[in-house]
Amino acid sequence: MDSLTIRKTFLDFFEQHGHRRYDSASLIPQDPTVLLTIAGMLPFKPYFMGDATPPTPRATSYQKCARTNDIENVGHTTRHLTFFEMLGNFSFGDYFKREAIRWAWQLSTEHFGLAPERIWVTVYEDDDEAEQLWLEESGVPAERIQRLGAEDNYWWTHAAGPGGPNTELYYDRGEAYGEAGGPAVNDERYLEFYNLVFMQHELDDAGTILGELPAQNVDTGLGLERMAVLLQGVDNVFETDLFAPLLARAGELSGVRYGQRDDHDVSLRVIAEHARTSAFLIADGVLPSKEGRGYVLRRLMRRAIRHGQLLGMDVGGGQQLLLPMVEQVIEQMRESYPDLQRQRELITRIATAEEHDFGARIRQGLERVDQAITAVRAADGDAFPGDVAFELHDTFGFPVDLTAEIAEDAGLDLDRDAFESLMQQQRDRARAGAKKGGGGIPVEAYREAAAVVGTTDFLGYESLTAEAELGAIVTPGGVQHTAGEGDEVEIVLPRTPFYAEGGGQIGDIGVLETPTGRLQVLDTQEAIEGLTVHRARVTAGEVRQGQPVEAHVDPSRRVATARSHSATHVLHATIKEFLGEHAQQAGSLVQPGRLRFDFPHFESVSRDRLAEIEGSINERVLRDPHVHTEVMSLDDAKRAGAVANFGDKYGQVVRVVTIGEFSKELCGGTHVPSGAKIGTITIVREESIGSNTRRIEALTGLDAFNHLSRERLVAEEVSRLVDVPSEQAVERVGQLLERLKTAEKELAKLRGANLSQQAKQIADAAPRDDGLAVVVQRADGLGHDDLRRLATELRNHLGERAVVVVGTATDDGKAQLICAVSADLAAAGVEARPILHPAAQVVGGGAGGKGDLAQAGGKQGAKLDEALQVAAREARAAVGGR
Ligand code: SER
């Protein structure tokens, strides 16, 4: 049975048993507690938890899943996969153990045709009921039912959420796979293929059962790949129809055959498996990056490239690997997952870019790895140095986990602590460097200040003014004791109401005063971790270390910034609702009265959609939702569903900003106390800022109002000009443009008729000399098209043996000439261009064209008459005796 039929058989069966069928949800989960969709139940989690009312009591689905906890094992075994598909049937407080067991048995034996006598079952150690039901509902005898502990027969998401005891179905693959005795002793011979979870508990992050769920539920998962192994009679997933074509393709590309050499097989499996996961991740909106899901994707792609290299391919040099591989994935899977086809361009573009980029660097990187390994071995060491891992990361783009894996292959352990500490130093440097106008202050100076002052307490959530002691004055030369009028310095205080730029929000400005001097604060930054600096200029007197300071944040600017920050949260929540969960904040800038918000999306947001989003945001704000901030543990925050950026570093204690019912984010920024204080929000731009990333810019508060007000003035001016009320102005302008177009057409027609008329008159009056008519006509004021038309009309009216030269002097003093020769003369070899050429030279230009028509132009319009005479002479000479 091929995999398509397996999917269909499962879904049809449960549809026939009253289940509503669901297509696969995204690999990017709605649920913030997990990085990726790890199981078929995840999209249904709110129904299990009782957080939402299920639209149907019974559901069945196929679901793409990704688990990335042991990427390094993939390829080395034939079991580990980072991507797999789960077929599931679900009950939300409807049927429970009996039906789940009955149907699992019927489906497995009657519809998938598995031999009943080879099916074994495990149940949770104290689940007597499940065992009894197996005996009643199926043909499994008691001796093929085994009881196991929580490790094997209790399932939960390994994050705060639902869980429960389970029962699993296994298939005996026969003696060839080792000793008998059931799944409890041999899970290679007895292959698990179907897991029935009886969801009934709520658990916390640590796996402690907190209590009963509101209802008893069923969550099942049948592994599509495993079922394909069983029904296609093959040894492992890589031999099924899901993988064989991918391995074959990887073999073609590398010139290596699967099944010939163990190490080659490892590489082929890595390439096939990772290409599959990568294609699906990209299709769901994950883009390669340094953190979170993007890091997982990058790691998979780069690991695959490395294995291409191990097979002797020059990836990124002359050879392509990822691109043809993801194309193969799309071909194979698009029927069940049309998103792959829809996102084909994106997938292929990213695969190409990644192999181009990393492929170009990997060879040198691997040489560096070899050197380092040789050096460690020569010194009898067993640790792969952290600084080399850092260099590989920084210069050659090696994800640290890839380096760790390569080191491990060589029998070395990566010194992760050393690597992490170098990463931290780099972050500090970047932060110090990014500081605007940092004036080249070395990190050591900040460290010196931190040694004196410690870390900075931020008081600015509650207050915009504070008193503190002047802790340190930092300059490029180091920490100093005083600063005088005109000096630009950075001030460190042990406590401050000034917000240091962070989380997209810009730093505060304001004033610092000591008894002897005054500083204008131009910006506030976090120079190194925990240390806030006020970049300031001494505007009066002198300031000294140790003096008391009164700090005043500029209040109107801060309030305008807070509006934009709260607006950003409202926008974020709303955009995700409209465009999908993938549209997670990817960057933001929060300024007074203005915000910028970046998010992954694959196409521009249409004007209508944008207007709907804008409308929804303003409606929400007007309802004046309460803005509530709370400090809690990271675990509690995640449990409460706060939006955190995976990959961002958060301490164990975090601040959660909640706006009304719709937004909950981890955020250190400053906010308005309630939604209506944001005032108006208006979106002024939506644009692309690189591959699949969109940027929205919006104005808030008074800036939004002022913008709209200016726009209104423009609209009013337009409606005044077109003399209708503004709501009719667009229609009116449209009508006017239409009329203008008609009028222009009409005009062109009239001019054409006029030209034709003129041509006829000139032709009728033209003298013939020995049957030859040479007509030279000056027609000022005609554009190029009209001039050409005049020439051809004249030629038509003149008939045989005619040469026409027309010219015009343009308003800017240039000359244009056209020469047309009648067909009979042209046939006798008289060409237009040589006739016009000497005339063109007279006006300082050249002639072009061929056969019976030529044109010329020159800068000296004043010599047009002379040029026309030259052309007439040339015409006569050219016709000569012909
Ligand atoms: N959630 C269970 C699993 O992932 C059953 O679907 O195995």
* 815 DSSP 8-state letter: E
**Residue 868 burial (CB < 10 Å; 0-12/13-18/19+)?**
buried
* 315 DSSP 8-state letter: B
Q: Is the pLDDT of residue 113 over 90?
A: yes
Does ligand 1 come within 6 angstroms of the Cβ of 85?
Answer: no
Does ligand 1 come within 6 angstroms of the Cβ of 167?
Answer: no
Atom number of ligand 1 nearest to Cα 41:
1
Average pLDDT of the segment spanning 243-271: 96
Distance 156 CA to ligand 1 centre (A): 8
Q: Is the pLDDT of residue 880 over 90?
A: no
Q: What is the pLDDT of residues 716-753, one digit of tens each?
A: 999 999 999 988 999 999 999 999 999 999 998 998 89
Which residue, among 667, 703, 662, has the nearest Cα to 683 in the 3D structure?
703
Average pLDDT of the segment spanning 466-480: 93
- Per CATH, the number for 3-234 is 3.30.930.10
Q: Is the pLDDT of residue 435 over 70?
A: no
Domain boundaries, the chain: 3-234, 282-434, 443-553, 558-710, 762-879
Roughly what angle, to the nearest 10 degrees, separates helices 416-434 and 443-453? 100
Q: Of the residues 41, 90, 154, 200, which should be mutated to test ligand 1's pocket, given the most ligand atoms within 8 Å of the CB? A: 41
Distance 225 CA to ligand 1 centre (A): 14
Question: Which carries the bigger pLDDT value, residue 478 or residue 803?
Answer: 803
Tell me the sheet residues that pair with 199: 217
Q: Of the residues 85, 124, 195, which should be mutated to test ligand 1's pocket, given the most ligand atoms within 8 Å of the CB? A: 195
Average pLDDT of the segment spanning 683-688: 93
- In our burial notation (b when 16+ CB lie closer than 10 A, e otherwise), range 101-121 reads bbbbbebbbeebebeeeebbb
Q: What is the pLDDT of residue 318?
A: 82
Atom number of ligand 1 nearest to Cα 157:
1
Q: What is the pLDDT of residues 132-146, one digit of tens each?
A: 999 999 989 999 999
Are 3-234 and 762-879 equal in CATH topology? no
Which residue, among 588, 581, 578, 584, has the nearest Cα to 613 in the 3D structure?
578
Does ligand 1 come within 6 angstroms of the Cβ of 514?
Answer: no
The label of the residue with tokens 């709907």 reads 612
Q: What is the pLDDT of residue 356?
A: 86
**Residue 668 burial (CB < 10 Å; 0-12/13-18/19+)?**
middle
Query: By three-state DSSP, how is residue 7 classified?
Result: helix
Query: By three-state DSSP, how is residue 810 classified?
Result: coil
Does ligand 1 come within 6 angstroms of the Cβ of 88?
Answer: yes
Q: What is the pLDDT of residue 651?
A: 67
Q: Is the pLDDT of residue 436 over 60?
A: no
Banded pLDDT at 297 (limits 50, 70, 90): very high
Q: Of the residues 61, 122, 219, 226, which should be mutated to test ligand 1's pocket, given the most ligand atoms within 8 Å of the CB? A: 219
The answer to whether 21 and 7 have CB atoms below 8 angstroms apart is no
Give whichever of 113-117, 407-411, 858-862 has the largest mean pLDDT.
Answer: 113-117
Average pLDDT of the segment spanning 299-323: 93
Average pLDDT of the segment spanning 296-313: 94
Banded pLDDT at 432 (limits 50, 70, 90): low
Q: What is the pLDDT of residue 434?
A: 52
- Written out in words, the top-level CATH class of the domain with range 762-879 is alpha beta
Q: What is the pLDDT of residue 263?
A: 94
Q: What is the pLDDT of residue 827?
A: 92
Does ligand 1 come within 6 angstroms of the Cβ of 41?
Answer: yes
Q: What is the pLDDT of residue 790?
A: 93
Q: Of the residues 155, 193, 194, 198, which should be mutated to test ligand 1's pocket, given the most ligand atoms within 8 Å of the CB? A: 155
Q: Say if pTM beats, i.e. exceeds, 0.85.
A: no
Q: Of the residues 197, 199, 225, which should be mutated to test ligand 1's pocket, given the most ligand atoms within 8 Å of the CB? A: 197
Cα separation, 305 vs 299, in Å, equals 10
The answer to whether 694 and 688 have CB atoms below 8 angstroms apart is yes
The percentage of the chain sitting over the pLDDT mark of 90, rounded to a whole number, equals 74
Average pLDDT of the segment spanning 180-197: 94
- Written out in words, the top-level CATH class of the domain with range 443-553 is mainly beta
Q: What is the pLDDT of residue 437?
A: 44
- In our burial notation (b when 16+ CB lie closer than 10 A, e otherwise), range 564-588 reads bbbbbbbbbbbbbeebbbbbbbbeb
Q: Is the pLDDT of residue 268 over 60?
A: yes
Does ligand 1 come within 6 angstroms of the Cβ of 39?
Answer: yes
Distance 326 CA to ligand 1 centre (A): 28
Among 43-52, 172-181, 268-277, the range scoring the smallest mean pLDDT is 43-52
Q: What is the pLDDT of residue 419?
A: 94
* Residue nearest atom 3 of ligand 1, based on CA coordinates: 221
CA angle 273–278–281, rounded 5-degree value: 130
Q: What is the pLDDT of residue 645?
A: 57
Q: Is the pLDDT of residue 873 over 50?
A: yes
Mean pLDDT of the chain: 92
Q: What is the pLDDT of residue 439?
A: 59
Among 181-195, 287-301, 376-390, 832-846, the range scoring the smallest mean pLDDT is 287-301
* Residue nearest atom 4 of ligand 1, based on CA coordinates: 39
The CATH number of domain 558-710 is 3.40.50.11540: no
Which residue, among 27, 87, 580, has the nearest Cα to 296 in the 3D structure?
27
Average pLDDT of the segment spanning 280-297: 86
Q: What is the pLDDT of residues 51-81, one digit of tens each?
A: 888 989 999 999 999 998 889 999 999 999 9
Question: Which carries the bigger pLDDT value, residue 582 or residue 655?
Answer: 655
Distance 366 CA to ligand 1 centre (A): 39
Q: What is the pLDDT of residue 202?
A: 94
Q: What is the pLDDT of residue 289?
A: 79
Does ligand 1 come within 6 angstroms of the Cβ of 155?
Answer: yes
Terminal-residue alpha carbon distance, the chain: 86
Q: Tokens standing for 296? A: 């997982």
Q: What is the pLDDT of residues 699-710, one digit of tens each?
A: 999 999 999 999
Q: What is the pLDDT of residues 527-556, one digit of tens each?
A: 888 899 999 999 999 999 999 999 999 999
Distance 132 CA to ligand 1 centre (A): 22
The label of the residue with tokens 């131009």 reads 522
Question: Which carries the bigger pLDDT value, residue 41 or residue 633?
Answer: 41
* Residue nearest atom 6 of ligand 1, based on CA coordinates: 221
Q: Tokens standing for 607? A: 């004007």
Atom number of ligand 1 nearest to Cα 196:
5
Q: What is the pLDDT of residue 586?
A: 83
Cα separation, 167 vs 195, in Å, equals 6
